[in-house]
Chains A and B, each alone.
Chain A
Amino acid sequence: MAKRIDVSDLNVYYGSFKAVEGVSMTVEPRSVTAFIGPSGCGKSTFLRTLNRMHEVIPGGRVEGKVMLDDQDLYASSMDPVTVRRTIGMVFQRPNPFPTMSIYDNVAAGLRLNGVKNKKTLDGIVESSLKGANLWNEVKDRLSKPGAGLSGGQQQRLCIARAIAVQPQVLLMDEPCSALDPISTLAIEDLINELKNEFTIVIVTHNMQQAARVSDRTAFFNLKATGEPGRLVEIGDTTRIFNNPTEQATEDYISGRFG
Chain B
Amino acid sequence: MTANATENGAPILQLRGINKSFGPVHDLKQVNFAAYPGQVTALVGDNGAGKSTLIKCIGGIHPIDSGEFLFEGRQVTVHGPRDASALGIEIVYQDLALCDNLDVVQNMFLGREQRTSIVLDEATMEDRAAKTLKSLSVRTLRSTRQLVASLSGGQRQTVAIAKAVLWNSKVVILDEPTAALGVAQTEQVLALVRRLADQGLAVILISHNLVDVFQVSDRIAALYLGQLAAEVKASDVRQPQVVELITTGRTEGVESELPTSVDEGVTA
Q: Real complex partners, A and B? A: no
Question: A residues near B, CB below 8 A?
Answer: none
Question: B residues near A, CB below 8 A?
Answer: none
